[in-house]
Structure 1
Amino acid sequence: MTAPSEPSPPQADRRVSLRSRVSDDLAYILPFFAFILLTSLAGQFPDAYPVFYAIKAVVAAGLLVWLWPLFTKIKWDYWWLGVIAGVIGIFQWVPMQLWLQANFAFFRPPPPDTVFNPYQKIQPDWLCWAWIAVRILSASLVVPLMEELFWRDYLWRRIIAPNDFKLATVGEWDWRAYVGVSLAFAVVHGNWWLTSIVWGFMVGGLLLYTRSLGACIVMHATTNALLAAYVLYYQDWAFW
């Protein structure tokens, strides 16, 4: 008689159940494209922008939590280097974008009266600050995790191993992945596309050096948090 088998851990059961409904590819793609789709819808209904932003933040966060068992385990090695790189990143992002806006008409932001200013658009004050808190938390926590999982975990490895991205390791060197992901990253950053290409090469270099997706997430979070501080201090809403 064989011994009774040990019950499988709940996490393993959940992973098997999820994989029966969601492919590994879709797990990475779904949160990112849901966020992008809701961003596009917000552009069609500018008066509802704060509502759409709150919805997309909640939807993306919910999808990340739900699909978490399907993601490759994140290594948090070199997180401290991610902080340093994130600080360098804000000193690259803001000055470079300001210089481009000042010197090239192509990069100029929309007129100030067309840029969303929460102080003017959201009342009462407590609701305005609640939305700003959601905006900061989304930009500093949800977006870095969602984007790094998609860009530098999934798409990077998909370029290296197109038949099965899991055959490639996180941070594996391939010039096509390094360049291609940085260029693709710029596509979704609108007026900041050239600035974001440079930043994309920086975070890509961090990934290659550390082989740590966690370090890239920390870099992204640090840059975004400092950008939020810049926007709120100078009220330069075009950067949001």
Structure 2
Amino acid sequence: MSLSPAAWARIVPFALFMLLLALRGAIPETNAWGVDPRWIYGLNLLVVGGALAWYWRGYGELSRQNRPTLREVGLSVIAGLVVFGLWISLDAPWMRLGEATAAFVPTTPDGRVDWPLIAIRWIGAALLVPVMEELFWRSFLMRWIASPQFETVDPRQVGGRAVMISTFVFMLAHTLWLAAIVAGAAYALLYRWTGKLWCAVIAHAVTNGVLGIWVVYSGRWEFW
């Protein structure tokens, strides 16, 4: 089945992100090239961010006329905070799908916190990932499951089947499977209820942004 330019605009940034993530996991901490694989996160800002900028005009859902109201922004922030609280709570061993392949511990060899690494990781998680992932998981995949001509699908008319399947696939991309189900369902339902992708992006950004601050404060690097 051929995909439309709108579909590729949502798939390509996500695919680049996943490729860089796989590369990060494939390179050992000590390697012959003397490369610190943690800095591959910096490539995400350049490569994935560049792809999003390249396709930006094709993201009609993120245009000015589709901006959320103040009430919708408030709802999105609350949803993001609730998801954050559940994410750090739903971490029992049985709630995990294996272990993360690319653990991120931003410390120097002498144990000090590496703030440049933290800044890059936080910016990517709080600003880049929410836009990239919501364009792929919700704007594209959820609506595409409803109809291959996904651009014509009003998110407010998406059925429960598309929400559940897209949330299930979203779960497979995360180690904390139960937390991912909660997060994926929350963002999908927020998008469906408001009809605005920005609401899902804002909620996702709040979750990731607050999570990053909490991780640094608590030293619970496994959540990164």
Hey, what's the Cα distance between the residues in 2 that align with 1:122 and 1:30?
A: 39
- Structure 1 residues 171, 60: CA separation in 2 closer, same or farther (over 3 Å shift)? farther
**2:67 paired residue among 73, 76, 83:** 76
- Structure 1 residues 199, 80: CA separation in 2 closer, same or farther (over 3 Å shift)? same
Hey, what's the Cα distance between the residues in 1 that align with 2:195 and 2:154?
A: 9
Q: What CA RMSD, in Å, does the superposition of the two structures yield over aligned residues? A: 2.3
- Structure 1 residues 72, 118: CA separation in 2 closer, same or farther (over 3 Å shift)? same
Hey, what's the Cα distance between the residues in 2 that align with 1:116 and 1:198?
A: 23
Q: Which residue of 1 aligns with 2:49?
A: 61
Higher share of residues assigned helix = 1
- Structure 1 residues 140, 122: CA separation in 2 closer, same or farther (over 3 Å shift)? farther
Pair 1:33-2:21 in alignment: no
Q: Runs (4+) of structure 1 moved beyond 4 Å?
A: 105-110, 121-125
Pair 1:116-2:140 in alignment: no
Q: Which residue of 2 aligns with 1:50?
A: 38
Which residue type is aligned with residue 197 of structure 1?
I
Pair 1:23-2:5 in alignment: yes
Contact 1:80 1:215 in 2 (8 A): no
Q: Which residue of 2 aligns with 1:206?
A: 190
Pair 1:197-2:197 in alignment: no
Q: Specify the SS of the correspondent of 1:96.
A: coil
Which residue type is aligned with residue 152 of structure 1?
R
Unaligned runs of 5+ in 2: 30-35
Deviation (angstroms), 1:23: 1.8
Unaligned runs of 5+ in 1: 1-21
* Range 68-77 or range 178-187, more displaced: 68-77
Hey, what's the Cα distance between the residues in 2 that align with 1:68 and 1:45?
A: 31
Deviation (angstroms), 1:217: 0.4
Q: Which has the larger radius of gyration?
A: 1
Pair 1:225-2:209 in alignment: yes
Q: How many correspondences in the alignment? A: 208
Q: Which residue of 1 aligns with 2:159?
A: 174
Q: Specify the SS of the correspondent of 1:195.
A: helix
